[in-house]
Amino acid sequence: MSHASPRTREALPPLAQTHGPRDREGAELHKERSLRARAVHPRRTRLRQATPAHPREGTRRPYLLREGEVQQVAYYVFLVLACATIVFGLFVVLGRKPAICAVNLVGALFSLSGIYLLIGFPFLAALQLIVYVGAIMVLFFFVIMLLDLKEVQGPERALAIALSPIIAGLTLALLALGTGTAEPSAKLVQGTRPIIGGQASAAGGADLATALFSRQLLAFEALSLLLLAAIVGVIVFVKPPASERKASGAGTQ
């Protein structure tokens, strides 16, 4: 076999620059050893942490309330709204100026609508705000401003302040005793059962009207009579005595 020329040796890589058959065998043996070493000890790959596609995907998820925690929070919210309703109601009864009493009544109605929303009746909550706060209370304010009612003074106010807590206490005591001992009838339970789950959002005006004019017709008519008595009482209280009307009529003549 002929040996490689010097120029060819310079062009070849170091392992291929052989001077004879022994050199070629050594080069081949070196290649085999290098291949075996690569097979036994593979090149280590570097693992990199994948960056999230969206910057918020790698962040920590927000804290979500569990079912028991949601019930506990709802219980505390109900207590706050119930206490606010009672406090505003007391300010309505014990207030001296009619305008301030009307403002406190608005606060009581807002708290009551929050209770409706909390127990799963969004339609009643919206109706409470739209009808009572948005319409009736505005009418009350106009009547108060037109009549120019002053602060109530005299023995009538002292008698009202003395009787109000007594009547309220007796009413609350009767309600507490009635709810603790009395057993409601099956018809009453069926008529006042709460709406559970997804049925709460589906309860609309048609369902409410059906319940009012079928199962709750007697209570609805009793409420209308109570409102009529309240209107008559307001007219009697606001109407001036006959002596004042005669005096004002004589003065104008």
Domains in the chain, number: 2
Q: Is residue 110 part of a domain?
A: yes
Q: Is residue 62 part of a domain?
A: no
Mean pLDDT on 164-187? 67
Query: At which of 110, 130, 150 does a domain end?
Result: 150
pLDDT band (50, 70, 90) for residue 119: confident
Q: Is residue 143 part of a domain?
A: yes
pLDDT at 82: 92
Are residue 146 and residue 220 in the same domain, yes or no? no
Mean pLDDT on 131-158? 72
Q: Is residue 125 part of a domain?
A: yes
Q: Is residue 173 part of a domain?
A: no
Q: Is residue 158 part of a domain?
A: no
Cβ pair 215, 190 in contact under 8 A: yes
Digit-coded pLDDT (tens) for 227-252: 788 777 767 776 766 666 666 665 55
Query: At which of 150, 171, 186 does a domain end?
Result: 150
Range of the domain at 217: 202-243
Are residue 133 and residue 208 in the same domain, yes or no? no
Are residue 215 and residue 144 in the same domain, yes or no? no
pLDDT band (50, 70, 90) for residue 111: very high
pLDDT at 50 over 50: yes
Digit-coded pLDDT (tens) for 183-212: 555 544 444 444 444 444 445 667 777 877
Q: Is residue 18 part of a domain?
A: no
Can you give the pTM of this predicted structure? 0.47
* CATH code for the domain in which residue 110 is found: 1.20.120.1200
Q: Is residue 53 part of a domain?
A: no
Mean pLDDT on 66-83? 84
Cβ pair 150, 238 in contact under 8 A: no
Q: Please indicate whether residue 25 or residue 95 has the higher confidence score (pLDDT).
A: 95
Are residue 146 and residue 206 in the same domain, yes or no? no
pLDDT at 174: 75
Are residue 141 and residue 76 in the same domain, yes or no? yes
pLDDT at 202: 46
